[in-house]
Chains A and B, each alone.
Chain A
Amino acid sequence: MASEEGQQHPLKIYWIMWVGLFVLSGFSYTTDFMDDGIVRQFLILAFMFAKAGGIVWIFMHMGWERPALKLAILVPPIFIGVLIWLMAIEGNYTELTRIEFFGESTFVPEEVHH
Chain B
Amino acid sequence: MSDAATMDGLPDGAKGVVTDYSADKQAFHVPWGKAMMWIFLLSDTFIFSCFLVGYMHVRMAATDPWPNPSEVFGLSLFGTDVPLLLIAIMTFVLITSSGTMALAVNMGYRKNRKATFWLMVVTAVLGATFVGMQAFEWTKLIMEGVRPWQNPFGSAQFGSSFFMITGFHGMHVTAGVIYLLVVANRVRNGFYEKRGGNYEIVEITGLYWHFVDLVWVFIFAFFYLW
Interface residue ranges, A against B (CB under 8 Å): 2-4, 6-9, 11, 14, 17-18, 21-22, 25, 28-29, 31-33, 41, 44-45, 47-48, 51-52, 55-56, 58-61, 65-69, 71-73, 76-77, 80, 83-84, 87-88, 90-92, 94-95, 98-99, 102, 104-105, 107, 109-110, 112-114
Over the window 29-71 of chain B, the binary record of Cβ atoms lying under 8 Å from chain A Cβ atoms (1 yes, 0 no) is 1100001001101100110011001101111111111011011
Cβ distance A67 to chain B, nearest Cβ, rounded Å: 4
Q: Of B127-135, B162-170, B182-190, B208-216, which stretch is located at the interface?
A: B208-216
Q: Is the CB of B98 within 8 A of A55?
A: yes
Q: Is the CB of A88 within 8 A of B56?
A: yes
Whole-angstrom CA separation of A3 from B155 in the bound complex: 49
Given contacts A48-B218, A56-B214, A114-B76, contact A105 B98 (CB under 8 A): no
Whole-angstrom CA separation of A37 from B200 in the bound complex: 46
Secondary structure call for the B interface = helix
Given contacts A48-B221, A109-B152, contact A95 B95 (CB under 8 A): no
Whole-angstrom CA separation of A33 from B91 in the bound complex: 17
What is the number of residues of chain B that contact chain A, defined by CB distance less than 8 Å?
75
Residues of chain B within 8 A (CB-CB) of A28 are 91, 220-221, 225
Given contacts A73-B42, A80-B49, A109-B67, contact A29 B84 (CB under 8 A): yes
Q: How many A-B pairs with Cβ below 8 Å? A: 183
8 Å CB contacts to A: which residues of B132-159? 144, 152-155
Cβ distance B171 to chain A, nearest Cβ, rounded Å: 20
Cβ distance A65 to chain B, nearest Cβ, rounded Å: 7
What is the chain A residue whose CB lies nearest that of B63? A105
Cβ distance A4 to chain B, nearest Cβ, rounded Å: 6
Cβ distance B213 to chain A, nearest Cβ, rounded Å: 6
> With an 8 A cutoff between CB atoms, is B177 at the interface?
no
Cβ distance A55 to chain B, nearest Cβ, rounded Å: 5
Q: Is the CB of A52 within 8 A of B53?
A: no
Among A32, A47, A88, point to the contact of B83 (Cβ < 8 A).
Answer: A32
- In the A-B complex, the 10 residue pairs with the smallest Cβ-Cβ separation, listed nearest first, are A91-B60, A94-B61, A48-B221, A68-B20, A18-B99, A110-B152, A107-B64, A114-B76, A67-B13, A105-B63
